[in-house]
Chain A
Amino acid sequence: MNPYVLTILLSSLGLGTILTFASSHWLLAWMGLEINTLAIIPIMAQQSHPRAIEATTKYFLTQATAAAMILFASTTNAWLVGEWEIHQLSHPLATTTVMLALALKLGLAPVHFWLPEVLQGLELTTGLILSTWQKLAPFALMIQVAPTINSSLLIAMGLLSTLVGGWGGLNQTQLRKILAYSSIAHLGWMVLILQYAPSLTLLSLFLYIIMTSSAFLTLKTNNSLTINTLATSWTKSPTLAALTALVLLSLGGLPPLSGFMPKWLILQELTKQGLPLSATLAAMTALLSLYFYLRLCYAMTLTIYPNTLTATAPWRLNFTLITLPLSIITILALGLLPLTPAVTTLLTL
């Protein structure tokens, strides 16, 4: 793609999200979301093979529907209550519609079906943008409207997301689909805690972005799209293979790694709020997610796949990728757990 065009697209991608962050009026927030969608569509469709075009079409249809529903809900609220502010969304019909539309935009459980298919059709860098930066603007809106939403809807959606995210990923061999289901599961955890401790939602989103970026950058470095190519990646870079296993376990939320921090704090907060059943169910469904992360780790580091000699000995080419972002973000994805006391003090939990 022409670098000037790419610059314009990327800057309007940033502009859309920042416009949504900064707005207090629903129309402006909707404009930010639209700019965001319109800016990423050419980036998604830049390789014009059938899968990319199909993914772009599906993404466009879902995002346009969700944005129209958001604007419809806020217009209804303006007709009924006479208020355009984002904080003052008060009519129950409008709040439920907005929540469903934001769930469609993010890919939460009852309306998640587009996310694995879209992510499967994209290349890894675009998939990284889609699963990190594109989540920020809907989350900014969701945190602002959260206090007025029906709490049983939020809890049901969160639990269903964690369940579906764990369950759907069990049968996949494509890494991008596995990452899409992991994204659904993590978003479920964030929505679960949304009404009780919004700062924990932000912390969880931040750590999810770090871990997912690390996973996507690793896959980009290894140039691997399926479990099989991941299983032979130790021949290219053994250190990265060992660290990738740890990053995957961090995504699964195992204790000495930083992915454990949001799960720990969320379970603690849910128990404090008197919701032990929801906490138990969420912890149980995290086991389903852990199963497929563990399968990836097993394929990468714990076993040697019965491949032919030509598959295990790929050409050793000079590394031309810039690996500084990968190394920084991998360190962050592995070692942030000791910061938990500082984080809890800063968030004043």
Chain B
Amino acid sequence: MTPVHFSFTSAFILGLMGLAFHRTHLLSALLCLEGMMLSLFIALSLWALQMEAIGYSVAPMLLLAFSACEASAGLALLVATARTHGTDRLQSLNLLQC
């Protein structure tokens, strides 16, 4: 495992752990998702650089575009949650529990 591989893997896993275990605010969940996507961006761009695959240098751009769309959808849902539930705490999302 190269140092680059180790660093982006640990960044992704930290983001995932934050998303899974730090469940207080919706905004922090969205930030964790964005951190995961950025670690993937670094991984893809460094892969293209290291393999000297010119054709793959488009892939990080596509990833960034899609993750921006995803982040905007998440922020729209944040606004919608704040309007309907009055707060962005994940604890208040409890209307549908069994």
Chain A residues proximal to chain B, CB less than 8 Å: 27, 30-31, 34, 37-38, 41, 45, 48-51, 53-58, 60-61, 64-65, 68-69, 71-72, 75-76, 78-80, 82, 116-118, 120-121, 168, 171-172, 177
Contact = CB atoms under 8 A, between A and B. Distances in A.
Query: Which of B16, B37, B80, B85 gathers the greatest number of chain A CB atoms within 10 Å?
Result: B80
Contacts of B44: 75
A34 B66 contact: yes
Nearest to B43: A75
Contacts, number: 99
Given A65-B19, A116-B98, A79 B77 contact: no
Interface of B: 2, 5, 9, 12, 16, 19, 26, 29, 33, 36-37, 40, 43-44, 47, 51, 59, 62-63, 66, 69-70, 73-74, 77, 80-81, 83-85, 93, 95-98
Contacts of A172: 98
Contacts of A45: 77, 80
B36 A117 contact: no
Contact of B59 (A27, A55, A120): A27
Given A61-B19, A76-B9, 6 more contacts: A34-B66, A48-B83, A53-B83, A57-B26, A58-B96, A71-B40
A54 to B, nearest CB: 5
Nearest to A57: B77
A299 B60 CA distance: 55
17 contacts: A27-B63, A34-B66, A38-B69, A38-B70, A38-B73, A48-B80, A48-B84, A53-B77, A53-B83, A60-B74, A68-B16, A71-B40, A75-B47, A79-B2, A79-B5, A80-B5, A121-B95
A34 B62 CA distance: 12
B24 to A, nearest CB: 14
Nearest to B15: A68
A56 B5 CA distance: 34
Given A34-B70, A72-B40, A54 B47 contact: no
- Chain B's interface: helix, strand, loop or mixed, by majority? helix
A69 B16 contact: yes
A75 B77 contact: no
B17 to A, nearest CB: 12
Contacts of B73: 38, 41, 60
B27 to A, nearest CB: 12
B3 to A, nearest CB: 12
B54 to A, nearest CB: 15
A175 to B, nearest CB: 14
B62 A65 contact: no
Contact of A64 (B12, B63, B70, B84): B70
A75 B19 CA distance: 20
Q: Which 8 A-B pairs have the closest CB atoms?
A: A50-B84, A117-B96, A53-B84, A68-B36, A53-B80, A75-B43, A54-B93, A120-B96
Contacts of B62: 27, 31
A45 B77 CA distance: 9
Nearest to A69: B16
Contacts of A78: 47
B10 to A, nearest CB: 12
A177 B98 contact: yes
Nearest to B88: A57
A68 B44 CA distance: 13
A50 B29 contact: no
Contacts of B96: 51, 54-55, 58, 117-118, 120-121
B68 to A, nearest CB: 11
Contacts of A55: 96
